[in-house]
Structure 1
């Protein structure tokens, strides 16, 4: 056995921030995967439940966004340029889609009461992602 040890490459602060954002993105992907699975589960057990949107739509929406966010997380973890751009686009389009759903399908008072909180969470996510991925030292990680 050799006494030589492989040097471990230390991550820079910018790379650590990208990894942290990748974990947030992965959590969004897994959350949407659970949403899709729950929609399929409930569709089988409550097929006649009156709703403003179908179980199939909820399952498809969760499935699509879960795949998109998981791909983004992989791109970020690998520090790929496309991962940065795809994450910016995906998070923005996801939030647009969520708000379109709010305006078209929210059918009760509680949904309307939570809009200020939902708006705050939307803005926090967008500011976090856009600020972090456009920070000069973080942008260099993807070059």
Structure 2
């Protein structure tokens, strides 16, 4: 009689992330301060979400629940939007949650050396700025 042979299967890279995802989609029900997220589970097992944020407070609320770090991915010349990411580990799975927010618009008046007054329109993106001078 032949003995059964057992072959070792390679673990599915999506198994752990799929379990984490099943819990992540339930979090807004348990924590009403969390805004909805559209999650994507990639074949590699990468787990990424897109948060429909109205302010940084929305991303900070997720960070308070998941832990991790908020990273600014701001292009100083993009002008109208800022992108921020929460990078965290949830149930032993690394995940990224992105939030795109409008940049703050702040008018500024500047007088040059020759006495000309300019109105600068700034789009501040987390410490960087794009400036457009308009003569007043």
Question: What TM-score comes out, normalization by structure 2 length?
Answer: 0.33
Relative contact order higher in (CA < 8 Å, ≥ 6 apart): 1
Structure with greater helix share of residues: 1
Question: What TM-score comes out, normalization by structure 1 length?
Answer: 0.31
Structure with greater strand share of residues: 2
